[in-house]
């Protein structure tokens, strides 16, 4: 299955959500990269972009898109980003690339979150994909113990530091049927910066790329 083609199909459909004069939020990962690579087509239309990671910032600049500071732009009309898993009610797991905290910030600052995925990412219930949790290094053991108490299996992402200078703990085996409740519960553990569940603020639009077309949910 050629997922890179399906990612591109979804990314193309997301261009329809951009209006003249917009400053857009742009996510991180291979699907977001497919979207960034299409932005030269609408370069004259947008006023710039806010990036959810240093990698995205770099890629936007390579395409000649001006990268703006979220503290100066105010609310954004639209944020486009991928996901590791997505449900039909637009709850997501993100953070496979470790950019979850900045992604959550840019999503929260945006009026419309357009999530773009290939069809392999669509699931009935979240939780097959390990859940990324960004943690202040001092709290690694404390947070790992709390994850075990919740029934999860924590694993430190080795050799990885987030753009914010923190560690990522990937948690397997968590029951995410009530994704918003688990999102809030994890956020309440001291030392957790954020976690990769996007259910309290889900996507507003989910574009699912197939081989020949995109479905919009």
Q: Catalytic residue numbers? A: 103
User: Least Å distance between CB 176 and ligand 5RP?
Assistant: 16
Nearest-angstrom CA–CA distance, 12 and 4: 12
Q: Is 44 helix (H, G, I), strand (E, B) or coil?
A: coil
Residue 26 CB partners (closer than 8 Å, separation 6+): 32, 35, 36, 49, 50, 51, 52, 56, 60, 79, 80, 81, 106
* Beta carbon nearer to ligand 5RP, 44 or 216: 216
The pair of three-digit structure tokens given for residue 150, joined into one six-digit string: 């919740």
* Minimum separation from the CB atom of position 103 to ligand 5RP (A): 6
Comparison of 33 and 144: residue with beta carbon closer to ligand 5RP? 33
Shortest separation between residue 25's beta carbon and ligand 5RP, angstroms: 13
The secondary structure of the chain in percent helix, strand, coil, rounded to multiples of 5, reads 35, 25, 40
Distances (CA, A) of 192 to 102, 107, 142, 145, 206: 14, 19, 10, 12, 27
- Cβ proximity to ligand 5RP: between 129 and 143 the closer is 129
> Least distance in Å: CB of 88 to ligand 5RP?
18
Q: Which is nearer to ligand 5RP, 89 or 120 (CB)?
A: 120
Binding residues for ligand 5RP (CB under 6 A): 27-32, 81-84, 94-100, 103
- Write the Ramachandran bin of 15: left for phi over 0, alpha for psi from -120 to 50, otherwise beta: alpha
């Amino acid at each position: 299955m050629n997922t890179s083609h399906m990612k591109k199909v979804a990314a193309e459909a997301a261009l329809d959500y951009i209006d003249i004069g917009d400053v857009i939020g742009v996510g991180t990962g291979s699907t977001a990269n497919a979207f960034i690579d299409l932005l030269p087509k609408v370069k004259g239309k947008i006023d710039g972009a806010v990036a959810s990671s240093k990698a995205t910032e770099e890629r936007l600049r390579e395409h000649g898109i001006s990268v703006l500071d979220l503290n100066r732009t105010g609310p954004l009309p639209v944020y486009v980003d991928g996901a590791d898993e997505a449900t039909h009610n637009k709850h997501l797991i993100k953070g496979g690339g470790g950019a979850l905290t900045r992604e959550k910030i840019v999503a929260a600052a945006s009026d419309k979150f357009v999530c773009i995925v290939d069809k392999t990412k669509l699931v009935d219930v979240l939780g097959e994909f390990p859940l990324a949790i960004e943690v202040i290094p001092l709290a690694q053991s404390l947070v790992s113990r709390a994850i075990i108490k919740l029934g999860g299996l924590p694993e430190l992402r080795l050799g990885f530091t987030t753009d914010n200078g923190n560690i990522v703990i990937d948690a397997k085996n968590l029951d995410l049927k009530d994704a918003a409740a688990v999102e809030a519960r994890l956020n309440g553990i001291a030392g957790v910066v954020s976690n990769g569940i996007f259910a309290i603020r889900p996507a507003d639009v989910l574009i699912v790329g197939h081989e020949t077309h995109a479905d919009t949910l």
